[in-house]
Chains A and B, each alone.
Chain A
Amino acid sequence: MKRVVVLGVGHSRFGKRTDATVQELAFEAYREAVHDAQVAPTAIDALCVGSVPEYHRQRSLAGAIQDHLGLHPAPTWLCEAACASGSAAIRTGVLAIQSGAHKLVAVVGSQKMTDLGTADILALMGRVGDAQWEAVFGSTFPGYYALFARRHMHEFGTTLEQLGEVPVKNHHYGAMNPLAMYRKPITIKRTMIAPVVASPLRMYDCCSNADGAACLILADETTASNAVGAHPRIILHGSGAASASMSVLRAGDLTGVPSAREAARQAYSQAGVSPKDIHVAQVHDGFSITEIMAYEDLGFCGRGEGGPFVQSRQTYLGGSIPTNVDGGIKAKGHPVGATGVSMAVEIVRQLRGECGDRQVPNAALGLTHNVGGVGQYVFVNIFRRES
C-alpha cells in the first residue's frame, strides 16, 4: 500500500471563540499547516473537511471553508462521523492519496459549537443515540456514558476516585498547553464535589463543547520527497476503522467499545507493532470512563484494569504510555469535528520533539484513538517518525 507522509500540521487555540467563524477558525489551522509543510497552496489538490454540520447556521461547510481558504478549483467534501469526524476526514484524505487520485491533500477539522445554547446542544447530543426509542425518554450523551461507567464500576470495581484521576491528569497537562480551553489544574477532591451531570458522572468527568480547528497536510512519498521542509519525516504507519451499534439498546456489553478493539487490531497489525511499542497516545476522553475503557480496548492494560491503571500514573509523562499529555479532549475542549485532527497534530509534534515541557522523550511511535457516539465510529491511527 502507498505510504502517506504528514508534511505539515496546524492548530488553532481551542475554547469559546466568539472572535471567529468556523471558516476563520479553519484558516488559522490551515495557514499554520501550510507554512509548516512549506508547500505552495496551489499544489494542494484536495481538501477534506471534518465537521458536524448541525452545530452551524452556515450550511455546506466544506464549500464555505474551501472558499475562505482560497483553494479552488481543488475539490472538497465534508466528512461526518459525530465526535470522530476529524478522523473520518483524515481517513478520507489518506485513501485519496493511496488511490493515486490525489498527491497533496489538506485535511481540516473545524467546528464552532458555542453559538448554540446549552439546551439546544443537549437536545442535539441526546439524539446522537436512537431518536425513536431512547431520546423520547430524555437520554443525553453524558447519560449514555454514565450507563457505561455504572456498569464498569459494577463489573470491575472501578471507583469514582479512579474516574476522577482522568480529568486530574488531563487538566494537569492542559495547564501546560497554551492551545487548551482550560489551563488550571484541578484536584481529586474538586472532581468529587462537582455538580452531578448524569450519575455517577459529575462535571469534571465530562468534556466541554468548544470552538476550534486543526489541520494536516498529507502527501504521497514522491511529493513529500520533493518538499523542502526540514522536519523529521512522519508517516502514517497503521490505520484502522470500525463501527458498532449507535444504540446502547443494541450494543450489548457496555464495559468497552468493540469497534475500538477492532480498529486497534487493524492498526497494530498493519504497523506490525503491539500496544507496548507505542510511546505516546492520544485517546478519546470525552468522558472519564471513555479514557479508562480506551486503555483497555487499546491493550495498554487488561480488561477491567483501566481504573487502577490511571491511578498508578502509568499514563503520565514517565509512565509506560503517556496519554493525552496535551490535556486531551477534557482540558483542550472538544470542538467535535476538529478533535480527531487535533489528536494527530499533537502526535506529529510529539514525534518531531516539539512539545517542550510536555515532550515524551525520544517518542518515535504514536497512536490516536477517536470515538464517535457510543462507538458507532472508531478510528485508530499509528504514526511513526522515520529515522
Chain B
Amino acid sequence: MFDCFGKAGFDSGTKVDGFIPRLREGKLCASACASCKHLSFPPRADCPLCLSDKFDWVVLTGLATVYSFTSVHAAPAVFEDMVPYLLGLADLDEGGRLMAWFDESLAESDIYIGMKVRVVVKELFEPQHNRLAYILKRSK
C-alpha cells in the first residue's frame, strides 16, 4: 500500500500502512507508542525507547514551522520534470519533522526559516493513479 506515497514509491508495504488511508481522509497522523506513549513523526511501529511493537494513531493539527529549505535544481531519476522544486523541512507543532514540497504558489523568495506552515494532503495526478503526498502551505 505504501508505494502510492510521494512521486516515486520505494517501499511496497510497512507496519505503518494505516498512515495512507488516514491521509486520504485528510488526516495527518503520528504514531504514539502504546506502552510509553512516545510520539513519532514520521510514524513508526517499533518504539526505540521501550521496544514495544504496539502503537496508536494520533491525528496532528498539521501546523508546523519551517526549519530549513532548498530549491533542488539537479533532480534524481523520476523527478527531472519537476525542476526546480522547493523542498522544505518543517517541525510539527506536536513534535517530529517532515519533508515536503511547498505549495506551487510559493516562490523561493517567499519562504524563510521560522515561517509558519500548514501540512495539506495533495493527490498527485501522475501517470500512476491515486498517488498521494502532502505539501506545505503558508499558514494564515
- A interface residues, Cβ below 8 angstroms from B: 119-120, 122-123, 125-127, 130-140, 142-143, 146-148, 150-151, 154, 195-201, 248-250, 254
Return 30 A-B CB contacts under 8 Å, by A number: A119-B76, A123-B78, A133-B42, A135-B8, A136-B133, A137-B6, A137-B7, A137-B101, A138-B75, A138-B76, A138-B78, A138-B79, A139-B87, A140-B75, A147-B87, A147-B89, A150-B69, A150-B113, A151-B67, A151-B113, A154-B113, A196-B71, A199-B71, A201-B70, A248-B89, A248-B99, A249-B41, A249-B42, A249-B89, A254-B68
Count, A-B residue pairs, CB within 8 A: 115
What's the least CB distance linking B8 to chain A, in Å? 6
Residues of A near B8 (CB, < 8 A) are 135-136, 138
Residues of A near B76 (CB, < 8 A) are 119, 122-123, 125-126, 135, 138, 140
Residues of B near A126 (CB, < 8 A) are 76
Q: Does B98 contact A (CB under 8 A)?
A: yes
Residues of A near B49 (CB, < 8 A) are none
Residues of A near B71 (CB, < 8 A) are 196, 198-199
What's the least CB distance linking A107 to chain B, in Å? 32
Contact A137 B73 (CB under 8 A): no
What's the least CB distance linking A195 to chain B, in Å? 7
Q: Mark B5-18, 1 if CB is under 8 A from A, else 0.
A: 11111110010000
Chain B residue at smallest Cβ distance from A154: B113
Rounded to whole angstroms, the CA-CA distance of A119 and B80 in the bound complex is 9
Task: Classify chain B's interface size.
Answer: 35 or more
Rounded to whole angstroms, the CA-CA distance of A184 and B60 in the bound complex is 53
Chain B residue at smallest Cβ distance from A141: B76
Majority-rule SS of A interface residues: mixed
Residues of A near B42 (CB, < 8 A) are 130, 132-133, 249
Contact B10 A143 (CB under 8 A): no
Rounded to whole angstroms, the CA-CA distance of A123 and B76 in the bound complex is 5
Contacts A150-B70, A151-B113, A195-B73 given; 10 further ones with Cβ under 8 A?
A122-B76, A131-B10, A131-B11, A136-B6, A139-B72, A140-B74, A154-B68, A198-B71, A198-B73, A198-B74
Residues of A near B100 (CB, < 8 A) are 137
Residues of A near B79 (CB, < 8 A) are 138
Residues of A near B7 (CB, < 8 A) are 136-138
8 Å CB interface, B68-109 against A: 68-80, 82, 84-85, 87, 89, 96-101, 108
What's the least CB distance linking A202 to chain B, in Å? 9
What's the least CB distance linking B23 to chain A, in Å? 12
Contact B99 A119 (CB under 8 A): no
Contact B67 A198 (CB under 8 A): no
Contact B78 A249 (CB under 8 A): no
What's the least CB distance linking A129 to chain B, in Å? 9
- Contacting residue for B74 out of A120, A131, A197, A249, CB 8 A: A197
Residues of A near B89 (CB, < 8 A) are 147, 248-249, 254
Q: Does B55 contact A (CB under 8 A)?
A: no
- Contacting residue for A136 out of B9, B70, B80, CB 8 A: B9
Take A126-B76, A135-B10, A139-B99 as given contacts and tell me if A150 and B68 are in contact as well, using a CB distance cutoff of 8 Å. Answer: yes
Residues of A near B84 (CB, < 8 A) are 196
- Contacting residue for A137 out of B67, B80, B97, B133, CB 8 A: B133
Contact B74 A142 (CB under 8 A): yes
- Contacting residue for B70 out of A125, A133, A198, CB 8 A: A198
